[in-house]
Amino acid sequence: MCGRFTIIAPYEYVIYRFAIKRSAPKFEFRQSYNVAPGQKIMAVVSDGSQNRLGDLKWGLIPPWAKDPKIGYKLINARAESVADKPSFQKAFRKHRCLIIADSFYEWTHDNPKNKRPFRFKLKSGDLFAMAGLWEAWRSPEGGVTHSAAIITTDANALMAPIHNRMPVILRKEDEQKWIDPSVQQSEQLSLFLKPYASKEMEAYEVSRDVNSPRHDDAHLIDRI
């Protein structure tokens, strides 16, 4: 799964890296060393001609949901079932996004009473895009919440000793194809949903302070 990540790159670099033409109304850029479910996450969407940057609540709320709290159960979507599961089926065809990060955290599961957090990042140190889905949910009062989920896949060789799942990190050359609204065939989209190359990533143990979203500062990414 993917339950925490970081986005600490400067706003100007984000704009450059993802060729952003404009930002969504009321968009507020916020760096974070400990992005958690329920918080706003930075995402890139495309209308087919230009990329737009906006913030989405982490935890997808399907349009048909009665209670928005369902989003806390839908922070991730499994690559193997995303095309068929009612919660994600429509978004997979029509509402895909890039969720921007520069690292993510995962915990060991060999000892439930002594889970150790690890940080996973690209060796290059660059930003990357996780394959995401988004939806718009309208409340009975008429308010609209835009929310998102991160797609996960099988762990690569680097990740496997820690956890059996990892977020789908898109290759740079596939990012624009993923958010192209003209691409709607499940067979074509599923080709992007595979583990990222282990040789291009690195991991190291970090402070257990990351366990709590109340902690959000630079010491969380220090190697221990």
Which residues have a catalytic role annotated?
2, 106
Give φ, ψ of 61 to 5 degrees: -110, 110
Question: How is 48-60 classified by DSSP, letter by letter?
Answer: SS-EEEEEEEES-
Closest C-alpha to 39, from 215, 222, 213: 213
Q: Which residue has the tokens 């740079």?
A: 172
Closest C-alpha to 1, from 88, 115, 77: 77
Largest CA distance in the chain: 50
How many angstroms separate the CA atoms of 182 and 122, rounded? Answer: 30
20: tokens are 């952003």
